[in-house]
Chain A
Amino acid sequence: MLARLQSLIGLAGFFLVWEVASRTDLVPSYYVPPPSTVLPALVRMLGEESFLRAAVATVLATLIAVVIAAAIAIPAGLVLGSMPAVRRATMVIIEFLRPIPSAALIPLFVLLIGAGSDTKISLAVYGAVWPILFNTMYALDEVDPLLTDTARAFGMRRSRIMSTVSLPSAAPFALTGIRLSATIALAVVMTTELYGGGAKGLGQYVLDARNGFRMDLVLAATLVAGLIGYLLNAGFERLHRRMFAWQATGAETGAGAR
């Protein structure tokens, strides 16, 4: 309860600083309107159909991309994690592909597929595949050899060891990968929309608002996007705690701090 109150005070403090900075023209209020105009604009926006459609389109594209990415990356990660020969052969391709930012592929995909939801989903899948793939793969490396050796000593077959020992201990890591991927997918979807290659969505909404010099809407929509990202992350964290409460060590990689 106290923690929640303190967080609220922190948030209120941020808005207060912003309000004062904008009112006193420390930052030009024409460009950065104070929260007392942005927050009401946000509330009005939430009742607007065009905005809601845009937000739903973005979130839906993100979720579809994450599901597709997981469907590709988890099996691939399991194969690469359990078969060293396959891994050695493919790592070069993976190391070659992974550093290519999905943003660099936007113009190509727009030419290839055309501007639309397919484009933004494909690009987001490309961006979202990597954390899941790597987390699943490395998770298999980290499986306690004592467990697999014990299973083998009891005469379990490889497939059985996979499904009863390796998979359960890799699952939390895979879910962490999915959580990181959701953030990436959201950013890629919005980037594609900003480029004008993703049909309707929050990114395009922000771009339109900017072109109309409605800075209150730009900031309000950005806040909503942050809220969506925050909720996605928090949702996956909660899912993680629920599903893997039996797991003492939280699978934490990447920038996630908590």
Chain B
Amino acid sequence: MRGITGFVQRWALFVLIVLIWEVVTRLSASPFFPPPSQIGPRMVDLWLSGPASRLFLTDTVYDHLLPSVGRTLLGWAIAAVIGIGLGLLLGRSTVAMRYLRVLLDFGRAIPPPLMVPFFLVTLGLGAPMQLGAIVFGAVWPVLLNSIDGARSVDATKVDTARAFRLSGPQWMGGVVLPAALPKIFAGLRLSISIALILMVVSELVASTHGLGNQLVAAGRDYDMAGMWAYIVLLGILGYAFNIALLAVEHRVLRWQPGRAHAAASR
């Protein structure tokens, strides 16, 4: 419990830092580092100056931001389904893991951005290519963590489940999945930050629209405030995704003993 004073303290510090940032950038007057007082209005101008009928959001939000965020979440969700499903099955099979361990380690070691050219050729320019890259990158942490989690079911539970003759789905859903959940959530949080990165990367390298595309466009037009607006937005998105998942995690895992302690693990 940090309480309200902690909260106020944090935000006071935050405001102070933004102020320092303002002063430093004004003093240095570098064209590449516009002060926050220019970035803020630019953000409003870019995204929040639309007509009331469209909730004050600009076309940029509808044409570029929301599709990008949607692709990130969709890709992440697909990766989560594949990763958790496959991970739980593989984690309970010692034989399969003996054959596949090295293959999985190798797959994980391929830097996901490098798959963008491959997907670009196989899936063409557009959303499928970006989804492919996002899923490829985001699947590994969930998959490997699910495998780890599924392996961690303790022997008593295994024996009890056997004694009660649990059916396959009961065993997977009632015993293995709950035991693996803490690890799975850790994987999911890593995955969403990777999904966000690959969304940007795939749009930086090749795209006709989207958040990364707009970032590049701002750079091309030497619109430094606009560029920073997108950089800050990406930071906010990453932060928000993480906070949201942490909240879900606390909810879902409340039954677990000793949760409060493990909060900081990443």
- A residues near B (Cβ < 8 Å) are 3, 6-7, 9-11, 13-14, 27-28, 31-32, 88-89, 92-93, 95-108, 110-112, 134, 138, 141, 183, 186-187, 190-191, 194-195, 202-203, 206-207, 209-210, 213, 215, 218-219, 221-223, 225-230, 232-233, 253-257
Contact = CB atoms under 8 A, between A and B. Distances in A.
B110 interface: yes
A232 to B, nearest CB: 8
A190 B219 contact: no
B19 interface: no
A99 B193 CA distance: 8
Contacts of A232: 109
B10 interface: yes
A191 B201 contact: yes
Contacts of A215: 118, 121
Interface in B64-100: 98-100
B22 interface: no
B144 A255 contact: yes
A6 B99 contact: yes
A101 B212 CA distance: 11
B102 A7 contact: yes
Contacts of A134: 266
B122 interface: yes
A100 B110 contact: no
A107 B204 contact: yes
A11 B99 CA distance: 8
Contacts of A213: 121
B264 interface: yes
Contacts of B204: 103, 106-107, 191, 194-195
B99 A10 contact: yes
Interface in B1-43: 9-10, 13-14, 17, 32
For the complex of A and B, the 3 pairs showing the least CB-CB separation, nearest first, are: A99-B238, A229-B109, A226-B110
Interface of B: 9-10, 13-14, 17, 32, 98-103, 105-118, 120-122, 140-141, 144-145, 147-148, 187, 190, 193, 196-197, 200-201, 204-205, 212, 215-216, 218-219, 222, 227-228, 230-232, 234-239, 242, 264-266
B201 A31 contact: no
Contacts of B230: 104
Contacts of B101: 7, 10
Contact of B122 (A31, A105, A183): A31
Contacts of B9: 88
A183 B109 contact: yes
B99 A96 contact: no
Contacts of B10: 92
A255 B116 contact: no
A97 B238 CA distance: 10
B100 A10 contact: yes
Contact of A13 (B99, B141, B147): B99
Given A190-B111, A191-B201, A254-B190, A206 B117 contact: yes
Contact of A100 (B121, B144, B187, B231): B231
Contacts of B193: 99, 101
Contact of A11 (B13, B98, B102): B102
Nearest to B216: A107
Contacts of A221: 114
Given A100-B231, A210-B117, A225-B114, A32 B122 contact: yes
Given A107-B218, A183-B109, 18 more contacts: A11-B102, A31-B122, A99-B235, A101-B196, A103-B113, A104-B231, A107-B215, A187-B113, A191-B201, A194-B117, A206-B114, A210-B117, A222-B118, A226-B111, A230-B105, A255-B140, A256-B144, A257-B145
Contacts of B107: 226
A213 B219 CA distance: 29
Chain B CB count within 10 A is highest, among A14, A28, A141, for A14
Nearest to B230: A104
Contacts of B147: 257
A104 B197 CA distance: 8
A31 B118 CA distance: 9
Contacts of A209: 117
A161 B203 CA distance: 49
Contacts of B120: 210
A97 B235 contact: yes
10 contacts: A32-B122, A92-B13, A96-B235, A97-B235, A100-B231, A103-B113, A191-B204, A195-B205, A218-B117, A255-B140
Given A103-B204, A254-B266, A108 B196 contact: no
